[in-house]
Amino acid sequence: MTKDLSIVIPVYNEEESIPELLEWIFRVIDGNKIDAEVILVDDGSSDGSWPVIQEKAKSDPRIFGIRFNRNYGKSAALQIGFDRSIGDVVITMDADMQDSPDEIPELVKMVKEEHFDIVSGWKKKRFDPISKTLPSRFFNWVTSKVSGIPLHDFNCGLKAYRSEVVKNIHVYGEMHRYIPLIAKWSGYLRIGEKIVAHRARKYGTTKYGMKRFLTGFLDLLSVTFVSRFKKNPMHFFGSFGILSFVTGFVITVWVIGEKLYRQLNNLPTRDVVDQPLFFLALVALIIGVQLFLAGFLAEMMIQSRSKKDEYLISDRTKED
């Protein structure tokens, strides 16, 4: 059994906002006659969020609650929600009511009728302090340039996906910011953007600080590396290995050639080991060999752990 829409909402200490948010969501989807389910994932809340979710789930069969035994993070909450979802379209939103459920119908339309794989919200006008908006803009600019995806707000929790997308990607760690990039490397290239309303926080306090911007850049490097080279790590290690080895070899030839030239022309010479270039060449040669070995070992690990390549099939003419 499938539905038109699944709404996945990670929850962490949001007991005050949950009833109001659910009332707003159902007012919108009922008014637009959307057959939907709401999946609330309690990410180890320490307040009364879970009892509130339980109460709401008992009163409405369209609400499904999942509770973690501790705080695993937003990525884990989204992944478990994606696994449980049965909607043709999956929308994610935060539980703090800063995302407006009024955006839901248009997001569903963009995925179903305009055939986007992903539609990411863009909170163009924000109600956050400048200490938060300026780092966010810089972070989004860097992420856009590195990923090649022209989005303005990777951090926006309000996003819509085709069901196939969320069923064929894996979100872990703090990679929820980079779902569009993960999807792109999985072959889902139709990524759109919609300007959405941003509302000032009504209840509670923000769960994020400056630390997320520092870790965000590390996560960006990680997801970029893994996405590009997880199937062929030798392409990464081998390229740098060749560069390092060739550099060391050229320096070695230069040092030896220079000494021979001076000896043949009766010019003053010094021992090779007395020249700093000799040690630079030695280090470059060793690093080059080590990078090659790292690439070979990584390739062997992939071959031993993968029985077959994982390819995503988007269509077929006949069922097997």
Pick 313 or 37 by higher pLDDT. Answer: 37
Please say which residue of 229, 255, 274 terminates a domain. Answer: 229
Residue 20 lies in a domain: yes
Per the structure, the complete domain to which residue 172 belongs is given by: 3-229
Please say which residue of 184, 207, 229 terminates a domain. Answer: 229
Pick 155 or 313 by higher pLDDT. Answer: 155
pLDDT at 22 > cutoff 50: yes
Give which of 290, 293, 285 is closest to 249, Cα–Cα. Answer: 285
Total of domains in the chain? 2
Most confident listed range (101-110, 136-145, 198-207): 101-110
Same domain, 79 and 118: yes
Mean per-residue pLDDT of the chain: 85
116-144: per-residue pLDDT in tens?
999 999 988 776 666 667 777 888 888 88
Same domain, 194 and 279: no
Same domain, 240 and 169: no
Cα distance between residue 220 and residue 88, in whole Å: 29
Same domain, 137 and 286: no
> Do the beta carbons of residue 41 and residue 72 sit within 8 Å?
no
Same domain, 102 and 203: yes
Work out the burial of residue 153: count CB atoms within 10 Å of its CB; fewer than 13 is exposed, 13-18 middle, 19 or more buried. buried
DSSP-assigned beta bridge partners for residue 63: 38
Judged by average pLDDT, the poorest of 24-28, 106-110, 129-133, 177-181 is 129-133
Same domain, 153 and 219: yes
Residue 249 lies in a domain: yes
Q: Which residues contact 243 (CB under 8 A, 6 or more apart)?
A: 288
Residue 192 lies in a domain: yes
Same domain, 202 and 268: no
pLDDT of amino acid 33: 95
pLDDT of amino acid 199: 76
202-253: per-residue pLDDT in tens?
666 665 555 666 676 677 777 777 767 777 788 888 889 999 999 999 998 8
Same domain, 134 and 202: yes
pLDDT of amino acid 317: 47
pLDDT at 314 > cutoff 60: no
The percent of residues in the chain predicted with pLDDT above 90, rounded, is 47
Same domain, 190 and 300: no
Please say which residue of 189, 211, 229 terminates a domain. Answer: 229
Amino acid at residue number 75: S
Judged by average pLDDT, the poorest of 2-11, 84-93, 214-223 is 214-223
47-72: per-residue pLDDT in tens?
999 999 999 999 999 999 999 989 98
Same domain, 178 and 276: no
- Residue 204 DSSP symbol: S
Helix (H, G, I), strand (E, B) or coil at 308: coil
Model-level pTM? Answer: 0.75
Q: Which residues contact 52 (CB under 8 A, 6 or more apart)?
A: 15, 18, 19
Cα distance between residue 148 and residue 150, in whole Å: 6
DSSP-assigned beta bridge partners for residue 160: 91, 119
Residue 312 lies in a domain: no
The enclosing domain of 28 has a CATH number of 3.90.550.10
> Do the beta carbons of residue 49 and residue 15 sit within 8 Å?
yes
Same domain, 225 and 237: no
Residue 45 lies in a domain: yes
Residue 199 lies in a domain: yes
Same domain, 187 and 299: no
